[in-house]
Amino acid sequence: MSKLRLGAILDEKPVKLTVDLPASVHRDLLAYAEVLGRETGQAIDPAKLVAPMLGRFMATDRAFAKARKAAGGAGSAGPGREAK
């Protein structure tokens, strides 16, 4: 079994956001959902991957964390982040 960066997808109250994705990103998102679904034994809606992927990306971006800290904004907890 491979070690994906995402684990189980939390079911949180969503905020509606509409984005246009390049076709290649959409294909990769579909493929990722398929692999994650096989690993977890659950059917994964590819659209539900976007929020945890973005959350994980922002949580691990050191430059973003540094800029956010410098601006004095801790923000709210989100996917991949814990409230402090």
Summarised one tens digit per residue, pLDDT across range 55-68 is 999 999 899 888 88
How many angstroms separate the CA atoms of 64 and 70, rounded?
10
CA atoms of 66 and 18, how far apart (whole Å):
28
Using one digit for the tens of pLDDT, what is the confidence trace for 21-58? Answer: 999 999 999 999 999 999 999 999 999 999 899 999 99
Whole-model pTM: value is: 0.68
